[in-house]
Structure 1
Amino acid sequence: MTDPHLERPRSDRVRSSPRYLLYPLRPVARWLLQRRYDVRVHGAAAVPTTGPVIFASNHVGVIDGPLLAIFAPRPVHVLTKMEMFRGLLGWFLWRSGQVPLDRFHPDPRAVKICVRALRQGRTVGIYPEGSRGAGDLERFHRGAAYLALVSGAPVVPVTMFGSREPGGTSGSLPKGGGVIDMVFGEPYEVDATPWPRSREQVEKSSLLLREHMLVQLDRARASTGRELPGPLPPTDVDTDPDTGVTEQGAS
C-alpha cells in the first residue's frame, strides 16, 4: 500500500503539528470563554465525526481563531498568521496545534503541515478571506480549495456572528456577556485531484466553494437572526495580499 505522505505535495518530511495541548486544554478553555461570553454552536451535527475535515470560516474578529480551535466539534489545527508566533504566545500556539502561515510569500511548509494532518484523518481550520474584515467573503483566497483538491477532505463552512461588534477594530474584543453564534454549514464535497493540479482547477474549485459558503452564510443569517458587524473602520487596515477570487474571477 502506497504511503499517502509520499504523494505530492509530499508530507513525510515535515513535523506533525503538536497535539499535546490541543486536546486537554479545550474543555478548560471552553469553560473559561463561556464564563465571559454566551457562545452558541449551531449545526455541529453537519461535521463528519471521523476522517479529514477542512473548516473554512469567515473572519470578522481577533477572537475567531480561539473560538474555532476551542468550540469546533473536533480538535482543529488552525492556520494562523506567523506574526502571532512570537514569545510565549508563539510557544503556546504551536504546542496547542496551530500552524504558522506566511501570508505574503509562498509557504510550502505550512501547506505540507496541513496536508499531513489531513492525511492522518485530522481537521484543519482556514480563513479564506485572509485578514479580518466584514466577514462577507468578498475576498476569497484559494488555500481551502487547494487543500480539498489535494486531500479530498470535505470543507465545512463556518460563520461567525458576534465575535466583533459593529464599529469595532480588528483587534477589539466583544463586550462581556455578549452572544457569539458559531454556525457550521453543509459540507462542500470535492474529489481528490491527482498531481499535477492546474491553477485553473484550483481557481474553479475556489469559485464554487465561495458560492457554497455564501449560500451557507445567508442560511446562517436566517437561522440565527444575526447580521455581520460591517467593515472595519477606514483607518484600521489589516494588511493582506491582494490576491484571491471573487464573482468576477481571479484577482
Structure 2
Amino acid sequence: MSSATDHRALPRSDRTRFPWRFLLHGLRPVSRGLVGRRYEVHVHGADLVPASGPVIFAANHVGVMDGPLLAMFAPRPVHALTKVEMFRGPVGRFLLFSGQIPLDRFRSDPGAVKACLRVLRDGATMGIFPEGQRGTGELERFHRGAAYFALVSGAPVVPVVFFGTRDPGGTSGSLPHRGARIDIVLGAPYTVPAAPWPRTKEQVEHTSMLLREHLLVHLDHAKALTGRTLPGPLPAGDSDPDPATGVTDQGAP
C-alpha cells in the first residue's frame, strides 16, 4: 500500500476517491461461471502476475468482450480505462459500480488520470488497451497511456493478448459464436523506473516504443503458445473513432 506522500506527488491523487469496487470483487466468481457456460475460456500465464502491489495490464483489443473478460479472469481485480461513451444508462451505472474508469479519448482527461493513479498508488491494478479502438489486435498503433502510467508509478506492465473474442469477419460489437474457445495469455511484466515530475514527451514516447516492442514479442509468443491467429480487420466501414496518436512502426508522430 502506498503512503499518503505518494498521493501528493504530481499529478496529485489525494483528492480523488478510489473507484467503486464492490461489484468488481463480488461478481467475479459468478460472472466467470456464467461466461464459462457459453464459452471455453483458458487463462495462460497467471503465475507471472505479481501477487501484490500496483500492476498495469496492457492488452490488445479485438472485440467488445475484451474489457469484461479482463475484469473477470485476470488473476487480480482490474480497474480498466473504458471509453466514456459506454457510461450511459444501466450499463454505465454497472461499469461505475464495478470499478471501471471512464475516459474521454478526444481531450485531456485529468479525472481519469488521477483515478488510475489513485488505484496504482493504493497498490491495486488498472487495465488499459493501448490500441484504443477494437481492431486486428496486432498492436499496429500504441497510444502513450500505458507508458505514462508506468513512468509516473513505477508499476510493472503485464502484457495481455486475447484470442477468440471476435470471430473472423465479425463486427466490432459482435460476440463470438457459442462454444468458442477464448484464450487470454498473460506475459512477463515489463518495468521502467519511475520518472520524477515533470515527465517529458520524449520520455513517454521512448517508453511507449519499448513497451510496444515488449507487447509485440509477447504477441508472437502467445501465437506460438496457443497455435492461434487473430481475426483480421473489421468489416469495411466498421470503425470506432479514435485519435490518430501514439506509436507505430514509423515511430512516434
TM above 0.5: yes
Matched pairs, number: 251
Mapped to 2, the partners of 1:151 and 1:72 lie a distance apart of 20
Q: Equivalent residue for 2:249?
A: 247
Q: Secondary structure at the match of 2:183?
A: strand
Query: What pairs with 1:1-150 in structure 2 (closer than 5 Å)?
Result: 3-150=5-152
Mapped to 2, the partners of 1:20 and 1:166 lie a distance apart of 35
Amino acid of the structure 1 residue aligned with 2:243: P
Give the CA deviation at 1:248: 1.5
Amino acid of the structure 2 residue aligned with 1:72: A
Query: What pairs with 1:175-186 in structure 2 (closer than 5 Å)?
Result: 175-186=177-188
Distance 1:12 1:227, change over 3 A: same
Any stretches of 5+ residues in structure 2 without a counterpart? none
Instruction: Report Cα offsets for 1:74-107 as digits up to 9, x if no partner.
Output: 0000100000000111111001000000011111
Instruction: Report Cα offsets for 1:217-248 as digits up to 9, x if no partner.
Output: 00000000000000101110111011111121
Q: Equivalent residue for 2:200?
A: 198
Work out whether residues 4 and 14 of structure 2, in 8 Å CA contact, stay in contact via their aligned partners in 1.
no
Work out whether residues 54 and 148 of structure 1, in 8 Å CA contact, stay in contact via their aligned partners in 2.
yes
Q: Secondary structure at the match of 1:100?
A: strand
Mapped to 1, the partners of 2:236 and 2:142 lie a distance apart of 20
Work out whether residues 207 and 247 of structure 1, in 8 Å CA contact, stay in contact via their aligned partners in 2.
no
Which has the larger displacement, 10-19 or 58-67? 10-19
Alpha-carbon RMSD: 0.8
Q: Does 1:212 align with 2:214?
A: yes
Q: Secondary structure at the match of 1:136?
A: coil
Mapped to 2, the partners of 1:7 and 1:247 lie a distance apart of 34
Q: Secondary structure at the match of 1:157?
A: strand
Any stretches of 5+ residues in structure 1 without a counterpart? none
TM-score normalised by L of structure 1:
0.99
Amino acid of the structure 2 residue aligned with 1:66: P
Give the CA deviation at 1:2: 6.1
Mapped to 1, the partners of 2:137 and 2:111 lie a distance apart of 27
Mapped to 1, the partners of 2:225 and 2:22 lie a distance apart of 36
Q: Secondary structure at the match of 2:82?
A: strand
Give the CA deviation at 1:40: 0.3
Give the CA deviation at 1:30: 0.4
Mapped to 1, the partners of 2:168 and 2:89 lie a distance apart of 31
Q: Equivalent residue for 2:236?
A: 234
Q: Secondary structure at the match of 1:149?
A: helix
Structure 1 ranges of 4+ moved more than 6 A: none
Distance 1:2 1:23, change over 3 A: closer
Q: Secondary structure at the match of 2:34?
A: helix
TM-score normalised by L of structure 2:
0.98
Q: Percent of pairs identical after alignment?
A: 68
